[in-house]
Each structure stands twice: as C-alpha cells, then as structure tokens.
C-alpha cells in the first residue's frame, strides 16, 4: 500500500528538551490513524515534522515520497493546528473562498460547509461565531483543497457532544471516499470512535502502534473496583482512584490482587473486575514507560 508519510528514527530537540526520540512511523493511503498521548508527549511536534513546519534534529521524515518542505507536496495535504486565528471581520463563505483559491480543484463551498454542519453560517462574520463553530470551520478548511492526507491536531477541543459527532462524521466520510487522516486527541473515546489504528506516544517515543483492541490486550490492564473504608498497600496496583464512594484499582493481575486483598483482612464489599477503557490502558502504558526510564537511569 502507498506510504503517504514516513518518519524513520526521527528525533526533535528544543534546546534541552527531547520532544521526539527516534520515532519511526508509516502512514499508508486510506488509513485513519489516531495519535494518542498526554500533554507534552510530542504529538504536535510529530505533526509539525510531517507538514514541514519543523525539521527533524535527527533521522528523516518524508511526505508523499519527498521532502515535507516542498510546496508542491504541502499543497496535497490539509492541516488544522491546535490553535487557529481566523480573521474576525470576514464572513465564513469568504474565508472558505479565500482558502479554496489556493488549490487547483477545491471542494465546492456549500458542500464543504454542509459536510461539517456549517451550511447555515456562510454569511456570518467569523467574529460572531461561537468557539465550537470556529473550531469546526478551522477543521473544514483543512479539507478545502481535496487533500490526499489530512493532519488534525486535537480537532474537537472545546466542542460539545453534538458538534463533536458532526465533526467525526465529516472526518469519517472523507476517509470513506479514500482520504487519509492522522488525528491527535485527548478524547480517548474519540480515537476509539474514529480510528482503526492507534499510535500511543509518550515521552517522545512510540509506545504502541496497533489496533485499538490490540493496544488494550497488549496492556492487559483490568480494573478491580470495590467498596471499602480503607485499604492497605497491595502488590501489583498500577493506579488507584476513589470514585462515587468506591475504590478502583488498576492491575495486570486481578487474581493475585484479590487473593492479597482477602489475605489482608480488610473489610470490603461489591467486588467487580472488568476490562479497562483505552484511557486506562494508555495511562498504564505511559506509567510503564516512565518506570523503564527510571530503571535505566
Ligand atoms: N517551540 C518549542 N520550544 C521549546 N520546547 C518545545 C517547543 N515545542 C514543544 N516543546 C516541548 O516539546 C515537548 C513535546 O511537545 P508537543 O507540543 O509536541 O507535545 P504534545 O503531545 O502535542 O502536547 P499537547 O497534547 O499538550 O499539545 C514538550 O515538552 C514541549 O514543552
């Protein structure tokens, strides 16, 4: 399958900060790839390397088989950065026309706006849009030039549930028509809802690159929840949380945890064991990576 973007052992340093550490990644035509990681993991840096806004300090990055800084290649991609400043006094339709004029075969204005639920706002000045509407417009603009590959950096930040779903539909329909997308998100249900493949990044490194289901299996974390006044320290607990009067414990070995719990003699009730969400899997992954780092230090 055609590789549209490729990073090979790519590293990026900002002074003393190693934002990306030997990242290798291929994005193939037709894929919708979710890039998941906590604040400061290196997601935006990786996108900036792919779109040619930054150069790698080491390793190589290719876009459409060549340099990401080549204007012809950049014209074939779309991008929505985390923050966008759109001119307040222009109307939505005017902005779409302005952006579309940069491309040889743009999407028709009405079609583009309809795809992202903005069809009734064409005559509205950007200054009068809500935050969510602005965000949807910024995302829609990434698709204006019929790109082969789109990079979306946290596209649904600040959107309510309905607006988020409209945006997901727009992104999905682009992929169903053959488009390719790399999307970063803090909303883990978003990656689950959108992407077949998830790349987990933490501390500038790729921690996992697989299907959402496989990442969960790979981590194998289970959640043990129970009601108890207090608990002693138990072995194999990766994390714990108090929620709605219950205690939730994350572990890769729930059987042993339950044995130890009973042995401790601490009174408890309402024991439940269940698989984790992607978010919990992800937290466990990044925690494991941090432990490895410490062990090597
Ligand atoms: N221009 C810069 N100058 C100095 N350090 C930077 C710069 N850009 C990013 N960094 C640092 O590089 C690391 C990775 O940042 P990056 O923005 O790529 O992470 P991210 O995963 O996109 O985070 P977030 O989810 O918060 O947007 C962080 O430690 C950040 O502080």
Q: Where are the domains of the chain?
A: 3-218, 221-296
- When mean pLDDT is compared across 170-174, 242-246, 261-265, 290-294, the lowest value belongs to 290-294
d(CA 162, CA 233): 42
- Nearest-CA residue for atom 7 of ligand 1: 14
The predicted pLDDT at position 290 comes to 43
Structure tokens at 270: 């309402």
The predicted pLDDT at position 160 comes to 85
Structure tokens at 243: 């929620």
Distance in Å, CA 18 to ligand 1 centroid: 9
Q: Is 34 in the pocket of ligand 1 (CB under 6 A)?
A: no
d(CA 153, CA 185): 7
Q: Which residues contact 207 (CB under 8 A, 6 or more apart)?
A: 200, 201, 285, 286, 289
Q: Is 96 within 8 Å of 111 (Cβ atoms)?
A: no
Q: Which residues contact 53 (CB under 8 A, 6 or more apart)?
A: none
Going by CATH, does the domain composed of 3-218 fall within 1.10.10.10? Answer: no
Q: At what angle do helices 212-219 and 278-296 cross, to 10 degrees?
A: 50
Residue 292 pLDDT greater than 50, yes or no? no
The predicted pLDDT at position 101 comes to 94
Residue 104 is classified by DSSP as S
Q: Is ipTM over 0.90?
A: yes
Residue 295 pLDDT greater than 50, yes or no? no
Distance in Å, CA 198 to ligand 1 centroid: 20
């Amino acid at each position: 399958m055609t590789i549209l973007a490729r990073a090979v052992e790519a590293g990026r340093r900002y002074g003393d900060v190693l934002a990306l550490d030997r990242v290798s990644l291929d994005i193939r035509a037709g894929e919708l790839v979710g890039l998941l990681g906590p604040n400061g993991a290196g997601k935006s840096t990786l996108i900036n390397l792919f779109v040619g806004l930054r150069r790698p300090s080491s390793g190589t990055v290719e876009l459409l088989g060549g340099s990401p800084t080549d204007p012809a290649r950049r014209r074939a991609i779309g991008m929505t950065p985390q923050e966008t400043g759109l001119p307040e006094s222009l109307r939505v339709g005017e902005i779409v026309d302005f952006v579309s004029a940069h491309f040889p075969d743009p999407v028709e204005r009405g079609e583009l706006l309809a795809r992202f639920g903005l069809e009734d706002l064409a005559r509205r000045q950007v200054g009068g849009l809500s935050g969510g509407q602005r965000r949807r417009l910024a995302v829609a603009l990434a698709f204006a030039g019929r790109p082969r590959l789109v990079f979306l950096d946290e596209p649904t930040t600040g959107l309510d549930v309905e607006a988020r779903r409209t945006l997901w539909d727009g992104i999905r329909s682009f992929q169903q028509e053959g488009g390719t997308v790399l999307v970063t998100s803090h909303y883990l249900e978003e990656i689950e809802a959108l992407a077949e493949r998830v790349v987990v990044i933490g501390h500038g490194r790729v921690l996992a690159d697989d299907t959402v289901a496989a990442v969960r299996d790979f981590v194998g974390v289970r959640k043990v929840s129970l009601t108890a006044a207090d608990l002693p320290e138990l072995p194999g607990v990766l994390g714990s949380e108090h929620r709605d009067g219950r205690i939730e414990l994350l572990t890769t070995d729930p059987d042993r945890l339950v044995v130890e719990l009973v042995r401790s003699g601490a009174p408890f009730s309402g024991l439940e064991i269940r698989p984790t969400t992607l978010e919990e899997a992800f937290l466990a992954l990044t925690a494991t990576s941090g432990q490895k780092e410490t062990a090597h230090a």
